[in-house]
Amino acid sequence: MFDILKNKNYKKVYIMTSKQIVLTGDRPTGPLHLGHYVGSLENRIKLQKTHRQYIMIADVQALTDNYEHPQKVHDNVLQVALDYLAVGIDPQESTIFIQSMIPEIAELTIFYLNLVTLNRLKRNPTVKTEIQNKQFGESIPAGFLMYPVSQAADITIVKAALVPVGEDQLPMIEQTNEIVRTFNRLYKTDCLVEVEALIPKMARLPGTDGQSKMGKSLGNAIYLSDSADTVQKKVYSMYTDPHHLKVTDPGTVEGNTVFTYLDVFDSRVDEVAQLKEQYRRGGLGDMVLKKRLVEVLENFLNPIRERRAHYAQDPQAVMDMLLAGTQKTRHVAAQTMQEVKQVMCLNYK
């Protein structure tokens, strides 16, 4: 891998780095929640130590199904960045960038669209599911249909070797590698890099309603930016065991969301094990557990909330950080694009 830096004399200096490149990111459609933390943010905080990590705020992708709400997308760019900083993503270690400011991604997407058939796009299981969920039917916006191609451009423009994704996103990685292989074969090059998926070991954090997925649209999310009061309210209304009506009733631990959260966030493992036993036997009320979870979550969220408030005092500084990361990414993107255009005979001079 090569890293491009410019020294004071404006000559390019190439510095060898053995770190593997990772691309990850979020669509700025709302603030991040505990599900994001468990599923990916936690992982990124580790990855930034061992990898060369790019984190993309995917505003262009967010617009594919939010094109009628551009202000929402705009506003959430800063909110997502604040969430990143709050949980400990370090802009010195991770390069955070704004997708729409890298025109090379759009250029690469257009080239890739030639290498993918309409049929292949329609066959993508992730897209298929989302078409169903969003009830697009045949009137699916073209931009939405082809966002996997755009994702292939996101990934390959920084030559990522690793992309952390949920299992449901594997078809997208497969599509990317198909494009990479077709491109490299067609244009007799190895300038594009195949990518591997990094699937988190931890199962997905359920929503507060016990549903398998925590999501903004499902209204079952605890946000990293929620106030203590809000967190308490959300935990108090959490799904437990619907048959556990009286304190003395025996309760079920499996699928009981409060226990699922305690397993994730409560470091006092032995105590949690004892509580589970007591709950199963009967004699342990939901409220005791929920109060404990509120305390545990507060211990976790409070420092995040404080850091968030600190950074939120100076939004321009956060934006400057994003612009600097974007600038850095553009150097890399321009280099990839130069190689791409070279092999595609689009190098006019």
In order, the DSSP letters of 232-280 are: HHHHHT----TT--STTS----TT-HHHHHHHHH---HHHHHHHHHHHH
The smaller minimum CB distance to its own copies, of residues 115 and 170, is found at 115
CA 18 to CA 279: how far, in whole Å? 50
Residue 61, CA atoms < 13 Å, CB-side half-sphere:
21
For the bound state, the minimum distance from the C-beta of residue 142 to its own copies, rounded and expressed in Å, comes to: 4
Cα torsion 83, 88, 92, 95: sign: negative
Strands 162-164 and 94-98: unpaired
Which is nearer to its own copies, 70 or 282 (by Cβ)? 70
From CA 273, how far away is CA 201, in angstroms rounded? Answer: 21
Taking alpha carbons only, the member of 92, 96, 90, 93 closest to residue 77 is 96
Nearer to its own copies, 101 or 192 (CB): 101
Q: How far is CA 166 from CA 78, 171, 203, 213, in A?
A: 24, 10, 10, 12
Instruction: Write down the least CB distance from residue 338 to its own copies, Å.
Output: 12
What CA–CA distance (Å, rounded) separates 65 from 61?
A: 8
The nearer residue to its own copies, 70 or 125, going by C-beta atoms, is 70
Shortest spacing between CB 67 and its own copies, in angstroms: 4
Intra-chain end-to-end CA distance of the chain, in Å:
27
- Contact call for residues 258 and 287 (beta carbons, < 8 A): no
- Assign 345 to helix, strand or coil: coil
Q: How far is the CB of 66 from its own copies (least distance, A)?
A: 9
CB of 86 to its own copies, least distance (A): 20
Which residue do the tokens 């605890």 mark?
222
Task: Give 118 or 247: the residue with its C-beta nearer to its own copies.
Answer: 118
Nearer to its own copies among residue 155 and residue 272 (C-beta): 155
Least Å from the CB of residue 5 to its own copies: 23
* Interacting residues toward its own copies by CB under 8 A: 59-60, 63-64, 67-68, 70-71, 73-74, 77, 98, 100-101, 103-104, 106-107, 109-119, 121, 138-146, 149-150, 186-187, 319, 322-323, 341, 343-346, 348-349
Of the two residues 12 and 122, which places its CB atom closer to its own copies in the complex? 122
CB 9 to its own copies: min, Å: 24
